[in-house]
Amino acid sequence: GAGVSQSPSNKVTEKGKDVELRCDPISGHTALYWYRQSLGQGLEFLIYFQGNSAPDKSGLPSDRFSAERTGGSVSTLTIQRTQQEDSAVYLCASQLADEQFFGPGTRLTVL
């Protein structure tokens, strides 16, 4: 069956531009997570959506980062005024029961 998909797979942008990263979770999974993987910081939690509850935004590194999840399905992570330190692989995961299923990630490069 279809897994978690993310788009784009690669994104190159200039410093100061805004970017949107998309995640399509596995159908029926109620929980959705965003993580960031970078050389210096490893895998970091960013934000978590669970059903209709208020999202856990405790991992967002600054107010330039925001995320939405529309209709309990697709999620978009938006980074405003990108900085070079935002360069990383952004991973999305959806969960049912105990296990999180990860997408292939979006590699973001900020020049």
Site residues (vs other proteins, CB under 8 A): 4, 31, 33, 35, 42-43, 45, 48, 50, 56, 59, 91, 93, 95, 97-105
Nearer to other proteins, 79 or 91 (CB): 91
CA 45 to CA 37: how far, in whole Å?
9
Nearer to other proteins, 14 or 98 (CB): 98
Q: 105: how many CB neighbours lie within 10 A of its CB?
A: 20
Nearer to other proteins, 33 or 65 (CB): 33
Query: Minimal distance in Å, beta carbon 16 to other proteins?
Result: 28
Nearer to other proteins, 4 or 110 (CB): 4
Q: What is the largest CA-CA distance in the chain?
A: 39
Question: Which of 102, 85, 89 shows the shortest CA–CA distance to 10?
Answer: 89
CA 102 to CA 85: how far, in whole Å?
23
Query: Minimal distance in Å, beta carbon 81 to other proteins?
Result: 26
